[in-house]
Chains A and B, each alone.
Chain A
């Protein structure tokens, strides 16, 4: 019998994927003791292909965060350190544990989920490849929901090639997820090396933002030259509604989250507070004890924007913005095949640097959220180091269900960047 595609490959699984018989916490106290009786479709697909689970990885609580600092179990530390310094840096989030496991060579690959950048941003700041597939490409069944219309699982790997192999296995049409799409899953691996001669690459001008460090633009310009040198046609494009993406995202995602997280009430499973006198007391204590600050903040925002009298001004308007953003992309993709942008506005930052300022934390997703709002596929590929010696990524955004082209363009970046840097293994004591 021939070996399966992923025979014996050790993978880390973000602790948002339900794993049968293995505690699944979403990095929240409220699911501290939760052991699913079922396996998520995506992880099952991986096991069916022969992969083995080396462990569940930490994340921001319920995937809400961009630094992996909101986890109930404590922050994840980035294996990378700035040149000549010993400060602990964040690995990005929310899939910070998965990114770290791959970057530190604790696993060959990992699963992540990406709601506003949670695969691509940590991949970028830990020097690995992260792919967010088209919404509907991978089943959401068995993944603890954050924002259902945005959540999508994807691979986090050392190379673009590995991402292609892993995505092929993760993706499937799942009748148990009504939003999963019944479209053939191409053999991404065999489509990887076609080159990018004649590929039309759009450069969206709105992604040049004030206040980003110059090294971000410099890297982006290098990326343009790399692709041009390999025969791509570079086209300046405009996505005029980009500036509304982040505010719209921070309305839609919390709105859905406020509803998705209502089930954690202490009645059937998970944490249940003791000492409550009545039903309301049980709810209040359980949820007060069970959820961390960032999750509570988003539940409150989400509850607010859905409330009578505010729904039209916030939720409905954010949905309209979403339509406009999707239209921006659709228009642009009439003229080009993929878009090239930076993956993050900065390299990894210090643990604790942004925890008191949620808005500056939210700005980490400025280049990634548009893609989730439009449901498109995008990849972050390590492309160079910052002046401090920290990894930076470039992002390729593609048309819906055209992961093959996204991977091929990502491979072109990877080839040109020839990113060989690795973190010093400072965590090894011997």
Chain B
């Protein structure tokens, strides 16, 4: 077993010394396909129960699976996006276990020979650090149906709409060292899948799910016994689950106990993990190659063709944004959501200088979206409108302070054309008329002679006058111009 390197910054304090959390993840990503992995039934979410079930999905006698080529293509594209080795020969196996929502009594999966082998993901942390997380494998498998326990007091109902839907199971190496890294990993995975269009990444609808493996160890020691935590279905829950589980394990170890290898369930209501089954209770899945399916084989030329048509992925986009003058952090934030990056690029196409566009989005617009619980797609302001606002600042048509007001008005009124319909219509243009600013400044000085004395003695207090002049001009005066005029009038030395 490999022992991943210690990263000292991530250590956490226990009662008896420092501990390191080691995290690996299994992500189940539903392939964005119209039909299921081995049948022609629809995969659409939210349909009437059992309305999207073919004879194959219901495991009727004599029915046979036929591989959906499109799903294979999506898996290979995802493999390429993860910079992983694509296996030209892979095998579908049967994973045997009994459960009512598993009609055939086995799940068709890939065990020893997955379609995609080793790869890597780079995750960007808030402190600017980049962490490399190894990908062990990606394989294709069928999803199970759903057991509905709440429809009848003493019966369970089965909905097979989801049975047979294609999933990609992506397994990471145990290369993460904190809950922050785990959440960042999942965010990055989601971004890559969404850029590729191979999975919609919708965690609420269950089209992306994660199981998290957590263990703790003394820094530099061999890997500890891990617990697998299931049902961790949001970024927030991942942080909670990892922190709870690490603390639980540390408490046990520090009290002289040992960790039992087991599968645990995350309870989002209480933010805890609860035991589900131990290693001893684990199923013997009796994997063997599915004799109904031929090995999955394709040639390198086909893979190369897919590689050529791959869209630009977050890492490449980030580099390109950095070349355009953005900081690593700003670029990382923008590429985190494909829609955000697209929005940013639309603003650049509208003529906004890249750095100004990034600053505006990261400092103003995204904050407002977050606060309102909106996303870039559901937000009220078009990229064109935001571009106009930033352009007006760059052209000194409005001050950056007024720009925020314009943004707020646009948020409410959704004019789509803030230059014309807000700034011009309401006379919010910055005062470029120096004479007018001078007279406003003179008026403020005349009304506050004692303040003027004070400032002459203590030039740092000049900001008070700038504020007063801005107020007098309803914020339309250019603050730099006000400052310059004030210094001339009060005979202050130049700043600097």
Interface residues, chain A, with chain B CB atoms under 8 Å away: 17-18, 24, 26, 31, 34, 36-38, 40, 140-145, 147-149, 175-179, 255-256, 258-259, 261-263, 265, 267-269, 279, 283, 303, 306-308, 311, 315
CB distance from B104 to the nearest CB of A (A): 5
Q: Which of B456-474 contact A (CB under 8 A)?
A: none
Q: 13 A–B contact pairs at CB < 8 A? A: A17-B62, A34-B61, A36-B60, A37-B55, A141-B62, A143-B62, A179-B292, A262-B104, A265-B105, A307-B286, A308-B286, A311-B286, A315-B288
- From B61, B67, B286, name the one whose CB has the most chain A CB atoms within 10 angstroms: B61
B64 touches A140 (CB 8 A): yes
B106 touches A178 (CB 8 A): no
Task: Determine whether B65 belongs to the interface, using a CB cutoff of 8 Å to chain A.
Answer: yes
Interface residues, chain B, with chain A CB atoms under 8 Å away: 55, 58-67, 94, 96, 98, 100, 103-106, 156, 158, 284, 286-288, 291-294
A-side contacts of B62, CB under 8 Å = 17-18, 36, 40, 140-145
A24 touches B100 (CB 8 A): no
The SS class assigned to the A binding surface is loop
The total of Cβ contacts below 8 Å across the A-B interface reads 94
B286 touches A306 (CB 8 A): yes
- Contacts A38-B55, A265-B98, A267-B100 given; indicate if A255 touches B288 (C-beta within 8 A): yes
Listed from nearest, the 8 A-B pairs whose CB atoms lie closest are A262-B105, A149-B291, A306-B286, A148-B291, A263-B59, A142-B62, A144-B61, A308-B284
Q: With CB as the reference atom, state the residue of chain A lying closest to B147.
A: A279
Q: A36-B60, A140-B62, A178-B293 are in contact. List 15 more A-B contacts (CB 8 A).
A: A37-B55, A141-B63, A145-B292, A147-B291, A149-B291, A176-B66, A178-B64, A178-B292, A179-B293, A256-B291, A259-B288, A262-B104, A263-B59, A263-B104, A267-B158
CB distance from B111 to the nearest CB of A (A): 11
B-side contacts of A279, CB under 8 Å = 100, 156
A-side contacts of B67, CB under 8 Å = 178
Q: With CB as the reference atom, state the residue of chain B lying closest to A283.
A: B98
B59 touches A175 (CB 8 A): no
A311 to B156, CA, bound (A): 35
Q: With CB as the reference atom, state the residue of chain B lying closest to A34.
A: B61
A-side contacts of B156, CB under 8 Å = 279
Q: With CB as the reference atom, state the residue of chain A lying closest to B104.
A: A263
A144 to B55, CA, bound (A): 13
A148 to B60, CA, bound (A): 15
- Contacts A142-B62, A149-B291, A259-B94 given; indicate if A268 touches B103 (C-beta within 8 A): yes
A144 to B60, CA, bound (A): 9
A24 touches B61 (CB 8 A): yes
A101 to B62, CA, bound (A): 24
A-side contacts of B61, CB under 8 Å = 18, 24, 26, 31, 34, 36, 144-145, 263
Question: Which of A24, A148, A255 contacts B292 (CB under 8 A)?
Answer: A148
A311 touches B288 (CB 8 A): yes
A258 to B288, CA, bound (A): 11
A-side contacts of B94, CB under 8 Å = 259
A269 to B158, CA, bound (A): 13
A269 to B62, CA, bound (A): 13
Q: With CB as the reference atom, state the residue of chain B lying closest to A136.
A: B294
Q: With CB as the reference atom, state the residue of chain B lying closest to A62.
A: B61
B-side contacts of A34, CB under 8 Å = 61
A259 touches B105 (CB 8 A): yes
A18 to B96, CA, bound (A): 25
A255 to B289, CA, bound (A): 11
CB distance from B155 to the nearest CB of A (A): 11
A141 to B103, CA, bound (A): 18
A264 to B67, CA, bound (A): 23
A-side contacts of B55, CB under 8 Å = 37-38
A307 to B286, CA, bound (A): 5
Q: With CB as the reference atom, state the residue of chain B lying closest to A303.
A: B286
B-side contacts of A144, CB under 8 Å = 61-62
A279 to B101, CA, bound (A): 12
- From B58, B291, B294, name the one whose CB has the most chain A CB atoms within 10 angstroms: B291
Q: With CB as the reference atom, state the residue of chain A lying closest to B158.
A: A267
Q: With CB as the reference atom, state the residue of chain B lying closest to A140.
A: B64
A263 touches B105 (CB 8 A): yes
A413 to B158, CA, bound (A): 56
